[in-house]
């Protein structure tokens, strides 16, 4: 049996693409033929995927899995496909986050959310990476659903970090880290406000590290830069690192004292898992799927009192006993996302098709 995956784009360092590659490897270990087909493939991943134009349907019992995170021609292709069809929903960011910031992206997100129900009568199974996303599937009319968390390679986070960056980050400052694309729903503006409160009311030893792809619209990035300048911060204290290599990512995690998330929409939140894997205490706004992903782990808050958030971040950074307790709870939580456990859930779902 073939189990092929369709993704709109196979990008290096993208959580969905990384998960698709791990799933393909699992399918092959189970004895299936398996490939990934994409409309766009990064040059560095040319051997990991095939152009979607090369896809050819196989036998009636072969399976196609569409990773759904944005609107693309793959939606109609899945509707027209004859064979067993599975949707894996990764959530589409609500368009209102982009209104007035990136109107084209707002339009794309609105279209992606409106097209999801079109698939409800054309798939044999709809999976989501969280119960939060599964609720969206049910609201869109899907009847046969399940949850399979995002598959991550835990071993990659035990690799050596970039040594030069590790030394640079170990200069005595307190490093507050967030990982995720620079996007309005991630609320980098609130992260900047927390860092500004820290510098103003706690001490001048804080540095905010923001790792993730920069926005399409320069005006939004410029507005964030103006915000930190207006709040008395400098580029040395608010570092937009952009998209980084894996060893650099590990250095940022290993050098972080606290992982701080103010995001207001996460369909899963892979960086939360990455932070727990690298023993960084997590302090997170409990929105969308964040609370579900963390479970009882980390320190979570439901209101954005910047003073209380900054003061808790300082406690997590300086109080070794508290840090140890939080880290131990996070290590316990990681069992829910162990690759073997996630693969077992995925296998059961596909065997029940």
Question: What CATH number matches the domain at 3-147, 1.10.287.70, 3.20.10.10, 3.30.460.80, 3.40.50.2000?
Answer: 3.40.50.2000
Rg (CA), the chain: 21
Q: Which of 285, 348, 344 is closest to 312 using CA atoms?
A: 285
State whether residue 12 is helix, strand or coil.
coil
- What DSSP state is assigned to residue 301? E
DSSP string for residues in 163-224 = HHHHHHH-SS-EEEEEES---GGG-HHHHHHHHHHIIIII-S-EEEEEESPPPS-HHHHHHH
- What DSSP state is assigned to residue 337? G
pLDDT in tens, the chain (353 residues): 999 999 999 998 899 999 999 999 999 999 999 999 999 999 999 999 999 999 999 999 999 999 999 899 999 999 999 999 999 999 999 999 999 999 999 999 999 999 999 999 999 999 999 999 999 999 999 999 999 999 999 999 999 999 999 999 999 999 999 999 999 999 999 999 999 999 999 999 999 999 999 998 899 999 999 999 999 999 999 999 999 999 999 999 999 999 999 999 999 999 999 999 999 999 999 999 999 999 999 999 999 999 999 999 999 999 999 999 999 999 999 999 999 999 999 999 999 88
**Superfamily covering domain 155-336:** Glycogen Phosphorylase B; (3.40.50.2000)
The tokens describing 187, both together, are: 């609320």
Q: Which of 204, 205, 206 is closest to 176 using CA atoms?
A: 206
Alpha-carbon torsion (187, 183, 92, 12), positive or negative:
negative
Residues of the chain with CATH 3.40.50.2000: 3-147, 155-336
As a whole number of angstroms, the distance between CA 154 and CA 179 comes to: 17
Helix (H) or strand (E) holding 38: strand 36-41
């Amino acid at each position: 049996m073939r189990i092929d995956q369709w993704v709109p784009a196979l990008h290096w360092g993208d959580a969905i693409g990384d998960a698709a590659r791990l799933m393909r490897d699992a399918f092959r270990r189970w004895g299936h033929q398996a490939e990934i087909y994409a409309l766009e493939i990064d040059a560095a991943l040319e051997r990991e995927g095939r152009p979607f134009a090369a896809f050819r349907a196989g036998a009636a019992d072969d399976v196609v899995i569409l990773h759904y995170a944005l609107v693309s021609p793959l939606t109609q292709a899945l509707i027209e496909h004859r064979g067993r069809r599975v949707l894996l929903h990764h959530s589409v960011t609500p368009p209102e986050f982009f209104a007035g910031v990136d109107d084209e992206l707002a339009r794309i997100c609105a279209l992606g959310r409106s097209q999801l129900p079109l698939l409800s009568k054309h798939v044999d199974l709809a999976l989501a990476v969280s119960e939060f996303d599964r609720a969206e599937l049910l609201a869109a009319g899907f009847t046969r659903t399940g949850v399979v968390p995002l598959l991550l390679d835990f071993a990659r986070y035990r690799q050596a970090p970039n040594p030069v960056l590790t030394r640079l980050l170990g200069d005595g400052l307190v490093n507050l880290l967030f990982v995720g694309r620079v996007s309005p729903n991630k609320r980098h503006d609130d992260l900047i406000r927390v860092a500004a409160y820290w510098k103003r009311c706690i001490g001048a030893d804080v540095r905010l590290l923001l790792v993730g792809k920069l926005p399409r619209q320069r005006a939004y990035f410029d507005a964030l830069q103006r915000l930190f300048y207006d709040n008395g911060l400098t580029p040395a204290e608010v570092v937009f690192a952009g998209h980084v290599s894996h060893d650099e990512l590990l250095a940022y995690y290993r050098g972080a004292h606290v992982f701080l998330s103010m995001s207001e929409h996460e369909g899963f939140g892979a960086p939360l898992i990455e932070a727990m894997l690298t023993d960084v205490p997590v302090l997170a706004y409990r929105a969308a799927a964040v609370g579900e992903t963390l479970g009882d782990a980390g320190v979570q808050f439901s209101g954005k009192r910047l003073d209380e958030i900054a003061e808790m971040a300082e406690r997590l950074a300086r109080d070794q006993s508290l840090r140890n307790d939080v880290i131990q709870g996070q290590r316990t939580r990681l069992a829910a996302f162990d690759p073997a456990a996630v693969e077992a859930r995925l296998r059961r779902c596909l065997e029940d098709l």
